Homo-oligomer: A and B are copies of this chain.
Amino acid sequence: LTTIARVAERAGVGVGTVSRVLNGSASVSERTRSRVLQVIDELGYEPNAAARALSTGRTGTLGVIAPFFTQPSVVERLRGVSRVVADAGYHLVLFDVEHPEPFAGLGVGGRLDGLLCVSLRPADAALERFASAGVPVALVDCEHPRLPGVSIDDFEGGRLAAEHLLSLGHTRIAYVGDDEHGAFGFTSSARRRIGAQRVLSAAGLELVVRRAPHGREQARSLAAALLAGDDPPSAIFAGSDSQALGVLEAAETAGYDVPGDLSVVGFDDIEVARYVGLTTVAQPLEQSGVQGARLLLRALEGAERTAQRLALRLVVRSTTAPPSDDRGTTPRGPRSHGWHSSAPVNRTRGSS
């Protein structure tokens, strides 16, 4: 393996000099400088990151931990993070999450200068370890009283969805969301549900709630059961767009026409939502990544904790419509194999 010593030797200089050219120190004669660079190139030398990190106390990389295979929305957030981090001259490394104890063996100290947690709130024990390792943490899509972070008002989101369905004339509305077992307070799915429930309560209506672990498949099952039941809803509000996709699949399978027989509202506005014409509560995903990364950078500089909230807005596309009146009759057979027997209309797009 090639080390700085070998380079120094081969170039006939001291290691200090090599280090200086490596780090662009001005105090190197142009002659030796080019000599050293040449040897470096010849040997294909690259400084050892661990040694450098140990010596400087900085790694020059920021970490992001996120459940980004299980949540499509996360990829869009990461896009924003990536840009900001790169612009700031840091490397970005991503940790995926599978295990129930994602923060267990992370070993951030000496590996990361800072950590951004996306859609994932670290346990207090983990936070203590980060602090003890001198690694600042910022949050995206979750909140913590002592950590900087950017989030949204999930209650408000639930409200937007419910009001939309209500204004269309729906009265039998169901919610398909995540399990709410979360140890630390409510999950975002729970807050969205509550937000919707408040609106319906005020209107004297009830929200039928179905929960399962997050995922399209699980949502599909939930919705299928709902639609096969005695008194199927005329509208379903899903806790996320992924889940809404599952609901759409269930509707298709059950021979429900969307939005004719069933209205569906999602949450997030991920890219696919546009493709399938899903009506949804949109949150600025990429922007959340941008802001989160900025908060982390500020924390690196020792800034005070700041918490931000991003705005939500309802995007009406083609999966919601007023309820039809022919319900309660015999379940209709499949009308088409596609999700929409009427062409999907994206009302948020420009003309044509």
Contacts and interface: CB of A to CB of B under 8 A. Distances in A.
Contacts of A253: 352
B82 A96 contact: yes
Interface residues of A, number: 69
Nearest to A78: B69
A352 B132 CA distance: 57
Nearest to A53: B50
Contacts of A1: 109, 132-134
A68 B81 CA distance: 13
Contact of A49 (B46, B92, B109, B343): B109
A334 B49 CA distance: 58
Dominant SS at the A interface?
Answer: loop
A59 interface: yes
A94 B78 CA distance: 12
A95 B96 contact: no
A125 interface: yes
A288 to B, nearest CB: 15
A90 to B, nearest CB: 11
A185 B110 CA distance: 40
Given A78-B69, A133-B2, A47 B340 contact: no
Interface string A88-104: 00011111101100000
A202 interface: no
A132 B40 CA distance: 11
Interface in A23-67: 43-54, 59-60
A133 B46 CA distance: 7
Contacts of A131: 44
A346 B352 contact: no
Interface stretch (A146-154, A272-280, A304-312): A272-280
B2 A132 contact: yes
Given A94-B94, A110-B49, A44 B128 contact: yes
A343 B344 contact: no
B346 A337 contact: yes
Contacts of A99: 86
24 contacts: A1-B134, A44-B125, A44-B128, A44-B131, A45-B132, A48-B110, A49-B110, A50-B51, A50-B53, A53-B110, A54-B54, A69-B75, A69-B78, A69-B79, A86-B98, A91-B95, A92-B95, A253-B352, A272-B275, A276-B276, A318-B338, A334-B352, A336-B345, A339-B344
